[in-house]
Amino acid sequence: MDKEVAIIAYAQTPYEADANASREMQVLQVAKAALEAAGLKRDELDTVITANNDYLDGRTISNMRLVEPSGAWRKNESKVEMDGAYAVLYALMRILSGDHGIAMVVGESQASVYAGYVPGTMMLDPTFDRQRGLLNEVSAAALQARAYMHASGVTEEQIAGVAAKNLGNAAKNPLALRSDAGADAAKVLASRMLYSPIRELMTSALCDGACAIILASGKAATKAEKPVWIKGVGFSHDSYLTERSLSRLTSLKDAASRCYSMAGIENPASQIDLAEVHECFAHEELMAYEALGFCPEGEGGAFFDSGATRIDGSLPVNASGGAMCANVVCAAGMARIIEASMQIRGEAGERQVEGVKTALAHGQTGICAQENIVFVLGGE
Amino acid sequence: MEYKNETVSIQGGWPLEHWQWKFESLDLIRKTLEGLKEKKLLALKCRNCGLVYFLPKPYCRCLSIPDQWVEIKDTGTITTYTFTGAWAYEGIQEEGPSGTPMIIAGVVYDGSDTMTVCTLDEAKPEEVSVGMRVQLKWPDEPQGRLDDIAHCVPI
């Protein structure tokens, strides 16, 4: 895609373990901030897409109370019940239809109101896996991690290293919930074992928060300062976890391939300057290196060891701290898109990477990263 | 207009455990459970793409309806595993119940294309590996329940 749709503004709440605000007020805060950043009024929005989840909200039609706070009152509003990166996709498609010029995208959830990984058990096969009681999001991720470690020869130290890298990067992200400038693999490996090889500091930081992104058509974006162009998008959805190989993120590989073909990326490791991946567990970042074609299949661990994905490396991954520092279900993929945009615009403050022209952002939904979406973004 | 102070209540609740979900897989699994009484593993094969589902599944990724029952073996291979953390590990004393950790294994039984999750008994965590051969640990008298296929042991 060449200058058809741009990201022109965005906003995030700070990520908190227990926000002192309702989801509605968090959404209102980011929607207003994004409009202000874009220099737009609510009346100028043509369409609004929200990303939220009935089950996590504990009520049905989870977008019904977000109509006013998202700026959607009596507008053409719709929602996705998946990661917010899919809401960005939906807004992108509405703009590409030619019927809409400016779209507001909002994603939110509040992990403080539900019991950690309990809702995730409703993703499990009801006839056996849910009855048997062995699987949950963490034990399933542990099965994924072990299958990947076997296939690619990755060690627990390398997985811990990813978590430490991201927690260290997060120390320069003022919105991060969890950060640790002095984190190293040994510290991560000393954290509490949940399900081998997954330890507490290898899990993402589930939390409260909201994100807003404003998209504009090429025509509408000409008035914007520093538009970030969507150059490509791809997505793919794999089978339930017992019916696919857990050792590879095959649907992420599909998604990346489709995205790269749209964005004209032939050699991702050299053409992409920075990536933000949605790692619900640290090992998934290593799996993503392979699936995104940053390194050959089977070499995720070696690629990490090379230092390429450190903030001062040739292809920094999760300069923001990734989901290790904050994982708002339904907004985490949007946070990746926002960080990639900030890096392209040179707005990332202390964690700014020099010379980011092309950046990749990834979102995922479902147990063991069942579905994946990839965006490639670029500046002027 | 006279104001009448009264509460209107809508009868009913939302107890998910009592919802009567419709699952074709329940009908399929009943047949598999019947087979367990004779120590047989009955899987469902898709005639279109050849994929064998254990446990049986009413629809296939190729958009066909699997309908060919096949018996698979009770031996298989561990494709992945994990073990629980509430125990001593490499010098770190965890809180929680003492004793050996529970090993959770993903097993693909010979003849099946899908994974079943069960516990691996009679093995220590350091003895488990991907590729390890295992056998279903049958109860002496299978009752035709999911519990009958809940454990496996190393061969």
- Name the minimum distance, in Å, from the CA of B3 to any CA of chain A: 30
Average pLDDT over residues B84-97: 54
Confidence of residue A154 (pLDDT cuts 50, 70, 90): very high
Put simply, the answer to whether B114 touches A192 (Cβ < 8 Å) is: no
CB-nearest partner of A139 from B82, B113, B125: B82
CA proximity to A328, closest of A4, A5, A34, A18: A18
Q: For the CA atoms of A243, A249, A250, A253, what is the dihedral angle to 10 degrees?
A: 160
- Flag whether pLDDT at B25 surpasses 60: yes
pLDDT of residue A173: 98
Split at pLDDT 50, 70, 90, the class of B12 is confident
Residue environment code for B40-53, b if the CB has 16+ CB neighbours within 10 A, otherwise e: ebbbbbbeeeebbb
In this structure, what are the phi and psi dihedrals at residue A137, rounded to the nearest 5 degrees?
A: -60, -35
Q: Is residue B115 part of a domain?
A: yes
pLDDT on residue B16: 67
Report residue A291 as tokens. 């699936």
**Residue A181 burial by Cβ neighbours in a 10 Å radius (0-12, 13-18, 19+):** exposed
Counted domains in chain B: 1
As separate numbers, helices (DSSP H) first and strands (DSSP E) second, chain B gives 1, 8
Note whether A135 contacts B130, CB cutoff 8 Å: no
The pLDDT confidence band at residue B87, using thresholds 50, 70 and 90, is low
From the list A108, A2, A106, A136, the residue with the least C-alpha distance to A45 is: A106
Position B7 in a domain: no
> Is B118 a domain residue?
yes
Residue A361: what pLDDT? 98
Residue B81 maps to a domain:
yes
In a domain, B9, yes or no: no
Which of A146, A190, A241 is closest, CB to CB, to B81? A146
pLDDT-based confidence at residue B18 (cuts at 50, 70, 90): confident
Domain contains B129:
yes
- Residue closest to B86 by CA, chosen among B69, B105, B99: B99
Q: What is the pLDDT of residue B4?
A: 67
The residue range of the domain holding B121 is 21-154
Query: Is B58 part of a structural domain of the chain?
Result: yes
Smallest Cβ–Cβ distance between B80 and the set A125, A134, A143 belongs to: A143
Structure-block tokens of residue A317: 């991954």
* Chain A contacts in chain B segment 30-49 (CB below 8 A): none
A148: closest CA of chain B, how far (Å): 9
Query: Is the pLDDT score of B2 beyond 70?
Result: no
Domains in chain A, start-ordered, CATH in brackets? 5-115+206-221 (3.40.47.10), 231-375 (3.40.47.10)
What is the tens place of the pLDDT at every residue in B104-152? 999 999 999 999 999 999 998 889 999 999 999 999 999 999 999 999 9
Give me chain A's average pLDDT, please.
Answer: 96
pLDDT at B91 over 70: no
- How many whole angstroms separate alpha carbon B86 and alpha carbon A153? 26
Name the band, by pLDDT with cuts 50, 70 and 90, for residue A159. very high
Q: What pLDDT, on a 0 to 100 scale, did the predictor assign at position B80?
A: 98
Confidence at residue B99, expressed as pLDDT on a 0 to 100 scale: 62
What b/e readout covers A30-68, taking b as 16+ CB neighbours within 10 angstroms? bbebbbebbebeeebbbbbbbbbbeebbeeeebbebbbe
Q: Of the candidates A128, A142, A247, which has its C-beta nearest B82's C-beta?
A: A142
Lowest mean pLDDT among A20-29, A189-198, A321-330, B44-53: A189-198
Say if residue B94's pLDDT is above 70.
no
Which of B21, B80, B129 is the best residue to mutate to test the A interface, defined by the most A CB atoms within 10 Å of its own CB? B80
pLDDT digits (tens, 9 = 90+) for A249-275: 999 999 999 999 999 999 999 999 999
Q: Is residue A128 very low, low, confident or very high in pLDDT (cuts 50, 70, 90)? A: confident
Angle at B102 between CA A241 and CA A195, to 5 degrees: 55
> Residue A121: its pLDDT value, please?
86
State how far the Cα of A91 lies from the Cα of A379, in Å rounded to an integer.
19
Tens-place pLDDT, residues A211-239: 999 999 999 998 899 999 999 999 999 99
| Residue B28 belongs to some domain of the structure | yes
Read off the pLDDT band of A105 (50, 70, 90).
Answer: very high
Taking only residues 108 to 127 of chain B, the set having a beta carbon closer than 8 angstroms to any beta carbon of chain A reads 113-119, 125
Q: List C-alpha distances in Å: B49 to A360, B64, B115, B149.
A: 36, 8, 18, 26
Q: Where are the alpha helices (DSSP H) in chain A?
A: 23-38, 54-57, 84-96, 129-132, 137-152, 156-170, 185-189, 218-221, 250-263, 268-271, 282-291, 300-305, 322-325, 332-345
